[in-house]
Structure 1
Amino acid sequence: MKLSQYFSNDDGSLPEVEIAFQAESSVATAFELLYVLGAKNATASGGHVWIRAAQVEKPFSGSADALLVTEGLADPFHVVLGGICGTNQIIPDLGVFVSTEGLILDYRMGPEWGQAEIESFSELLRKLHSLGGTISAAWWGEDGERDFQAALKHS
């Protein structure tokens, strides 16, 4: 299934793909996987995480910050990660929102999304699914959801 229609035309939006997990511990594992697959922080100003008990913001420091969220020590946060490879192809930068329920990946559509990048992103989603994640592309409506689910079944 070709997904290029969901990536090629930059309309200024940031489409989202949600990955929900039953176990909060899986959220931290999934976020760590992004780093195993090459993620580097590309957030403007580096990003920050709100620490609940101290009521202070601390600089985002990497994959371990997801564990702070799942343990209830920090609020959910959003960062931009670059350099992730689902296959051997680097995926364009992804926004990643981390909460106790899962991850929400957002992306900027545009010409940098060729077939190899889309396949690499699809493989990333398959890997997150293999960790117990339920993938949803509700952003694109029923047709888009069906297209994404069909693409994820092909390996």
Structure 2
Amino acid sequence: MKLLRYFDTDDGSLPELEVRYLNPDKVSKAFEYLFANNARNVTAGGGYLWIKSSKKEKPFSGSGDAALVVCKSAEPFHVVLAGITIAKCTLPDLGVLVMPSSLNIDYRMGSAWGASEVNALLKLLKELCGLGGTLVAPWWGAEGEHEFTEALRRA
């Protein structure tokens, strides 16, 4: 599998894949989709959102928190999700940065990623794009982005 090289060796970085949405409401739907597929929040300390009106932190409470970012009541937030299961394959932990018009997904490269996990991630990305998103993979440069786009098309 050609894409495996973007996953198999842990170099200490956290590569990012971004799904951008023209319709911001789809960001909430995409984030909810992760939880509908067994995502569990495993963020150290549980994770927090910064609420603009009160100028205070609020503990992350679940998939509905993405709507607060979309409507600009809260600043973008990042959580680490474990247990996401696609096509009977449980993905390694994924970091998810919820932005007003995108989900930025980061991952730790390494031995937890095999062909099954990469294929499951592609299926997940295809579903997220099916909600009106576009995959962007600038982390890996033009060649890598092209390879991800092609793999996604075939997934």
Instruction: Tell me the TM-score normalized by structure 1.
Output: 0.97
**SS at 1:17's partner residue?**
strand
Superposition misfits of 4+ residues, deviation over 4 angstroms: none
Is there any run of 5+ residues in structure 1 with no aligned partner, and where? Answer: none
Match in the other structure for 1:88: 88
1:110-129 equivalences under 5 Å are 110-129=110-129
Alpha-carbon distance in 1 for matches of 2:87, 2:140:
24
RMSD of equivalent CA atoms: 0.8
1:61-100 equivalences under 5 Å are 61-100=61-100
- Equivalent residue letter for 1:32: E
Alpha-carbon distance in 2 for matches of 1:104, 1:43:
16
1:1-155 equivalences under 5 Å are 2-155=2-155
Alpha-carbon distance in 1 for matches of 2:151, 2:132:
18
Is there any run of 5+ residues in structure 2 with no aligned partner, and where? Answer: none
- Equivalent residue letter for 1:113: W
Q: Deviations for 1:21-44, whole angstroms, at most 9, x for unmatched residues?
A: 001100001000000111100101
How many residues were matched structurally?
155
1:2: how far off? Answer: 2.3
**SS at 1:3's partner residue?**
helix
Alpha-carbon distance in 1 for matches of 2:105, 2:145:
15
Alpha-carbon distance in 2 for matches of 1:146, 1:69:
30
Alpha-carbon distance in 2 for matches of 1:137, 1:71:
25
1:101: how far off? Answer: 1.5
- Equivalent residue letter for 2:122: S
Task: Determine which structure has the larger strand proportion and give its number.
Answer: 2
- Equivalent residue letter for 1:154: R
CA contact (8 A) 1:81 1:94 kept: yes
CA contact (8 A) 1:87 1:119 kept: no
**SS at 2:50's partner residue?**
strand
Aligned-residue sequence identity (percent) comes to 50
**SS at 1:141's partner residue?**
helix
